[in-house]
Amino acid sequence: MNERVLSLTHINPRDFFGEQNNNIKALGKYFPKLKIVARGSQIKVFGEEEIIDEFEKRFEMLVNFFRKYNKLENEDIELILTSDLTRQISKSNHNTDIIVHGVGGKQIKPETPNQKKMVASSLKNDMLFAVGPAGTGKTYTAVALAVRALKEKEVKRIILTRPAVESGENLGFLPGDLKEKLDPYMQPLYDALRDMIPFERLASYIEKGVIEIAPLAFMRGRTLDNAFVILDEAQNTTHNQMKMFLTRMGKRAKFIITGDPGQIDLPRKQISGLKEALKTLDGVQGISIVHLNEKDVIRHKLVSAIIKAYKKKEALALEYQ
């Protein structure tokens, strides 16, 4: 009797094997002549070599399906195990708005017209500016687009960056080394990624540099090829920082720059690199600018009301200046 060991890499075995190994039991029904044993992140298969070869091909299809959709259900297993080996299996879903399937099969898609405009503009242009107030889904949508590009092998890596400007806090007084000081500041980027990529795979991507999260200063002197690069909180860049970042763009790269011109934390007399770039680059072919507003807020309904109230107050203040 032949034996073969198949391993799961960067996949949680509990999620893949199913509750009480139900997915493995389903596999056993289609391959009754094989003995299948799941332990840890490995599957041991015993039986005739030809049947094991067939099993391995189907197993790889299941793994690829799980990597794409982060979910495996009985109907998916049945479809994959009974389909033509050359056929590309996709989840039947009429919703073409889906950007990517997140952890647990969560459908991540644009929720508002301007978020949809972000998605469409990113597909047509290599550089996109997405500007608007907090809570409008700028960063989340941008990260989803980056994850999709990585999954579809359109790029080889994702780079997420922010200017290290404190909004009232002082990083120097925080404990720990540079990474420990900066990780809390980069938390929104980590949060978005954790929604979209299973923990084991995300940890591996970060360790291997497939996904890099770093302050803007770390971009200096680099050429970013084959990468999907997101500059978040871009309103806090200076003229020199923004120019430096934009000129890092290498071959087969996609750039998305997000920011809120209404929340600038720079010293009062310093010009925001984002505001300047929006004026300077408006109309440049290949660069798209999408403006989001309070109608795009997808947080608590009060956030939209708060944004409107502040806009009204700021407008009145300008009248009396």
Q: How confident is the model at residue 268 (pLDDT cuts 50, 70, 90)?
A: confident
Identify the CATH class of 100-319: alpha beta
Q: How confident is the model at residue 105 (pLDDT cuts 50, 70, 90)?
A: confident
What is the structure's pLDDT at 314? 66
d(CA 92, CA 70): 15
Could you give the 3-state DSSP secondary structure of residue 184?
coil
Helix, strand, coil % over all residues of the chain, rounded to 5 = 45, 15, 35
Q: Is the pLDDT of residue 285 over 80?
A: yes
User: Averaged over 207-234, what is the pLDDT?
Assistant: 92
Domains 2-82 and 100-319 share a fold: no
Q: What confidence tens digit (pLDDT) does each residue in 151-176 have?
A: 889 999 999 998 876 544 444 544 55
User: What is the value of pTM for the model shown?
Assistant: 0.73
Write down the mean pLDDT value for the chain: 85
Q: Is the pLDDT of residue 13 over 90?
A: no
Identify which of 72, 31, 289, 258 has the alpha carbon closest to the alpha carbon of residue 163. 258
User: Averaged over 112-121, what is the pLDDT?
Assistant: 94
Domain ranges of the chain: 2-82, 100-319
Q: What confidence tens digit (pLDDT) does each residue in 69-95 have?
A: 888 888 888 888 887 665 555 555 445
Q: How far apart are the first and last CA of the chain?
A: 87
Tell me which CATH code domain 2-82 carries: 3.30.1370.10
Q: Is the pLDDT of residue 143 over 90?
A: yes
User: Averaged over 168-188, what is the pLDDT?
Assistant: 58
The pair of structure tokens assigned to 319 is 């009248």
Q: Is the pLDDT of residue 96 over 70?
A: no
For residue 245, which amino acid is it? Answer: F
Q: Is the pLDDT of residue 26 over 90?
A: no
Q: What confidence tens digit (pLDDT) does each residue in 35-52 have?
A: 998 888 888 999 999 999
What is the structure's pLDDT at 90? 58
| Ranges 163-167, 197-201, 220-224: which has the least confidence | 163-167
